[in-house]
Chains A and B, each alone.
Chain A
Amino acid sequence: MTALALVISAIAAVACVLWVAGPFLREPTVAGAADLFDDLDPAASQALVLAEERDRALGALKELEFDHRTGKISDNDYREQVGPLRREAADALRQIEAAQP
């Protein structure tokens, strides 16, 4: 039983090694930039921040509209808040456009 167990364990260990080494066995000669995974450069990171701000402002506008419709927000409160939120969304959109080449 011990010998059989050792053989099973050895086969399983070798299978694991082959599985883990798979990316190198499949592409043995890749080097340099081809072996680097995608990452965001500073310009893309900045664009991501702006996109987040845009989505957040648009989401807040949508939420405000719905809260107003359900009666949670009065007409006065709605009028007070909708302007700044629209400006935030417009600012984010403008900055995204300005950042585009």
Chain B
Amino acid sequence: MSEVGRAALLVCLALALYATVAGAFAARERRRRLAVSAQRALYAAFASAVVASIVLFSALLRHDFSFVYVADHTSSKLPWYFCLSAFWGGQEGSLLLWLLVLTGFAAAAVFLQRRAQDLIAWVVPVLGICGVFFAFVLVAVTSPFATQVRPAEGFGLNPSLQNPYMIAHPPALYLGYVGLAIPFAFAMGALLSGRTDERWIIVTRRWTLIAWAFLGIGQLLGSHWAYEEIGWGGYFAWDPVENAALMPWLAATAFLHSVMVQEKKGMLKVWNMLLVALAFNLSIFGTFLTRSGVLNSVHTFTEGPLGPWFLGFLCFSVVGSLALILWRLPLLRSKTKLESLISREATFLYNNLLLVALCLTILWGVAFPMLSELVRGTTVTVGQPYYNFFLRSFGLPLLLLMGIGPLIAWRRASLKSLGRTFVIPAITAVVAGIALLIAGAGSSTPGMIAYTFSAFVLASIVLEFWRGTRARRTLSNVGWLRALGELVSRNRRRYGGYVVHAAIVLLAAGIAGSSAYGKETEGKLKPGQSLSAGGYTVTYRSLTREPKGNHVELRALVDVYRGGKQVGVMAPGKNEYFAEQQVSNEMAIRTDFLRAEDLNLILDQPNEDGSIFLKMVVKPLVNLIWLSGLIFVLGSVITLWPDAREQRRLVARYQSARAHGRA
């Protein structure tokens, strides 16, 4: 069936090419039938990508080792559900996933706006170009359908990918990466057509939110996977691959905030175009980083088949988007100006500057080792202290701004009203700070600042909900609960955004707690010997070995004590995989839900005499990070929920404009 897969990709490439060329011609000449035909080509390209994906997935499920990709990433003993991980575990499969999501999103976005021909006319060719690139790469550069004489067994899947989080993490991340192509295409379409009014923003806001939410969820899933699977007791290491996902998320976060200033005040039009282009180009850059081999060495990426193609596409996209923005600068000039440096729009501006600064410093940290190797021939590593310094420098003020922003009115605020709105959050922050000092949390200054700011932000969020609900209750003469429901449903973006802010506060508290106040120790233990850290004592009992499916499980049984009382038994260990001939670390985690704290045990080295090297890591508040993911999803759903009134307003605006035109 590999021929069907190859043919499907070829058809997909032809259709994307047609959508680009015919779509561009139709947009320029306003040809209705040709424009519809180009849109249909995008739908058909999605169908072709679905067929190609089904062919690959069925080959993975059947363990058809005549497919090189299947033999390289599965073995006959690999459980069926990990065939999903194998789909995107390798280069070709992950690029096919890119194409599948891209064409799917493109078809959905175009279908939903099919009646607004003037809006989507230029969107179709822009999305077509992206489709052409990925389809071309899969057809001509690195095909997932290459075949060989069927070997008896496959090489298996990297053990670290044999984890349930790896089934969900890559697709979530890709939905985020690729989703950014939609606002980018509508932005470029608006520039090409000269229609730079608000419509592209309103139409694509939900797409941006979807992409941004998936990028956020994907990163949290990836962090949880790293925490559980890599077995070093951490969840984020500023690895270039992790940074590759963080950068577009930061740019998209900045865009989601600054776009509100454009909607409310008609300002920052150029900045928004730049941000949307930055977010999309960073998502391409991220894929380039992970897929080109450039991370191993800047000199090897040209030897691999993908690097130069990706670099070429990235350059084309960056230069093309900047050229379009420059071309349409006269249309993007704002009529209004910032009225005061103390206003909601000003806080959005500060937030944007900090987010972009953080994003660019991370970009520099990722790019510097490559540039250094290219220019000076020496390999340089940018370590965690660099990133942590900038995270504190930009992240802590950002955290504070999340609390300040909601308290300030649009346009301008007097110092008197500012003082009145700030008093409760400020008192809450001071009380929290003093309480933490008394509780002995003063050992880490950044941790103390983070918690004090977090208290300020949470207080301002609660205050906003309370004041809003009280006002709504007076206006509608209804009960508190109904008033709260009305408040949120009338302004989902604002109050959903506050819920997301609450999630970020929990995330910050989790990161600060687990990194600033964590404890760890390690040592060689013989049966009966103990280790202690963070109030826990663990006693090593024995080592066990048990065959399971496609691997053997080696486990150290360890009794856990807290306050002199046994609270459980943990079993850190290692899995030895047969086909893959690799060993994976299987960290044992004990969660104390009341303290939101984890005790992690890592078996570093089992010895033949029955002794082990055991690492013990206590992570206070780390579970707030995972809890923040759930609240983040809740806030995103509230924000994403369609607003029929806004849609009606947009339609009415266009109908009345058209009526003027015809008259």
Interface residue from B48, B197, B408, B475 paired with A69 (Cβ < 8 Å) = B475
Q: How far is the CB of A48 from chain B (nearest CB, A)?
A: 4
CA of A16 to CA of B14, assembled, Å: 10
Q: How far is the CB of B6 from chain A (nearest CB, A)?
A: 8
* Size class of the B contact interface (CB-based, 8 Å): 35 or more
- For window 35-92 of A, CB contacts with B under 8 Å fall at 35-41, 43-49, 51-53, 55-56, 59-60, 63-64, 66-67, 69-74, 76-77, 81
CA of A20 to CA of B42, assembled, Å: 9
Complex: chain B residue closest to A84, CB-CB:
B411
Complex: chain B residue closest to A13, CB-CB:
B11
CA of A35 to CA of B467, assembled, Å: 55
Chain A contact residues, majority secondary structure: helix
* Size class of the A contact interface (CB-based, 8 Å): 35 or more
Contacts of A21 in B (CB 8 A): 37
Q: How far is the CB of B41 from chain A (nearest CB, A)?
A: 5
Given contacts A9-B8, A49-B197, contact A20 B40 (CB under 8 A): yes
| B657 engages A48 (CB within 8 Å) | yes
Contacts of A47 in B (CB 8 A): 656-657, 660-661
Interface residue from B4, B35, B649 paired with A55 (Cβ < 8 Å) = B649
Q: Mark B168-180, 1 if CB is under 8 A from A, else 0.
A: 0000000000000
Interface residue from A23, A27, A39, A52 paired with B653 (Cβ < 8 Å) = A52
Complex: chain A residue closest to B33, CB-CB:
A23
| A64 engages B40 (CB within 8 Å) | no
Task: From B18, B197, B408, B411, name the one whose CB has the most chain A CB atoms within 10 angstroms.
Answer: B411
CA of A51 to CA of B558, assembled, Å: 70
Contacts of A53 in B (CB 8 A): 266
Contacts of A44 in B (CB 8 A): 657-658, 660-662
Complex: chain B residue closest to A5, CB-CB:
B3
| B417 engages A100 (CB within 8 Å) | no
| B657 engages A72 (CB within 8 Å) | no
Contacts of B265 in A (CB 8 A): 56
B7 on the interface (CB 8 Å rule)? yes
B420 on the interface (CB 8 Å rule)? yes
B524 on the interface (CB 8 Å rule)? no
CA of A51 to CA of B654, assembled, Å: 9
Contacts of B33 in A (CB 8 A): 23-24, 27, 30, 35
| A23 engages B51 (CB within 8 Å) | no
| B663 engages A100 (CB within 8 Å) | yes
CA of A36 to CA of B410, assembled, Å: 43
| B661 engages A74 (CB within 8 Å) | no
| A40 engages B658 (CB within 8 Å) | yes
Q: How far is the CB of A43 from chain B (nearest CB, A)?
A: 5
Q: How far is the CB of B458 from chain A (nearest CB, A)?
A: 18
| B1 engages A71 (CB within 8 Å) | no
| B657 engages A51 (CB within 8 Å) | yes
Given contacts A37-B118, A47-B661, A55-B653, contact A12 B51 (CB under 8 A): yes
Complex: chain A residue closest to B468, CB-CB:
A70
| A36 engages B31 (CB within 8 Å) | yes
Question: Top 10 A-B pairs ranked by shortest CB distance?
Answer: A44-B661, A9-B7, A47-B660, A37-B117, A5-B3, A48-B657, A70-B467, A23-B33, A74-B417, A47-B657
7 A/B residue pairs, CB under 8 Å, sorted by A: A12-B7, A19-B44, A20-B44, A22-B37, A44-B657, A48-B657, A72-B409
With A20-B44, A70-B467 known, 19 other A-B pairs at CB within 8 A are A1-B1, A5-B4, A13-B11, A16-B44, A20-B15, A24-B33, A30-B32, A37-B35, A40-B658, A44-B661, A52-B198, A55-B649, A56-B263, A69-B471, A70-B470, A73-B409, A73-B417, A74-B414, A100-B663
